[in-house]
Amino acid sequence: MSDDKSTDFGFQRVPRQEKARRVRGVFDSVAAHYDLMNDLMSGGAHRLWKRFALDAAGLRPGQAALDVAGGSGDLASGLARQVGKKGTVVLTDINAAMLARGRDRLIDEGQVSNVQCVQANAECLPFADASFHAVTIGFGLRNVTDKGRALASMCRVLKPGGQLLVLEFSRPLPALQPLYDAYSFRILPLLGRYVAGDEASYRYLAESIRMHPDQETLLGMMRAAGLEDCRCHNLSGGIVALHRGRRY
């Protein structure tokens, strides 16, 4: 049973003020192996999912974009290419270790002239209203304590006509569920143990996916946050979904 004072951390219930600290611990642990594990866990498919999201963003040179909970900078890098040197991309993450990996990646790619890195909480973004033409969050929303508040915060910083894109694990087709469960709860923790030396963190990641709202529920949450023209695109049989909405 849930209440206003507790929230989910995987399959556990924890005090709301504890979740951010625990999530920070998970990502401090996995940061060094984050990119390698993404490739192993998805068979490289995460690159295609992110490319789909970037194509949907459709930014033009000179525009401004925000990547929230940006991890190691995959989406921010693609957004930076779209907006060009005259545009601006801001990469944020609440976790300093993950933000450092993203910053290092962008430096290695030579994309520092138009990208800023800011440590920030998705629930209270430190940016002015109507600042960005697009906001993206890739595989980060399920780790946020108050998802509705984060969606409202991301909506607030969008310019009129701007688009929010939420790329996240979701509910697969029923026929895929047994195989997906077996992979998530048997294979994924083993990969975490032998590759990253951290089985518990990857077990949490599998559990957090199950606790994340399904496609229709998330669409409703986006509308409640003030977004319009909300739609969902299922990828890989619904294992991942891209949700989109605009602020008017």
Query: Mean pLDDT, to the nearest integer, of 220-243?
Result: 98
Where are any strands of DSSP class E within 46-157?
Answer: 64-68, 88-93, 115-119, 132-138
Dihedral of the alpha carbons of 9, 14, 15, 20, in degrees to the nearest 10:
-30
**pLDDT by residue (tens digit) across 102-124?**
999 899 888 778 999 999 999 99
Percent of the chain exceeding pLDDT 70 equals: 99
Percent helix / strand / coil, the chain, rounded to 5: 50, 25, 25
Dihedral of the alpha carbons of 86, 122, 168, 57, in degrees to the nearest 10:
-20
**pTM, two decimal places:** 0.92
pLDDT of residue 37: 81
**pLDDT by residue (tens digit) across 31-67?**
888 888 888 889 999 999 999 999 999 999 999 999 9
The domain 6-174+203-246 having CATH identifier 3.40.50.150: the answer here is yes
Residues facing 132 on adjacent strands: 158
Hey, where are the domains in the chain? Answer: 6-174+203-246
End-to-end, the C-alpha distance of the chain in Å comes to 37
Distance (Å, rounded) from C-alpha 119 to C-alpha 107? 17
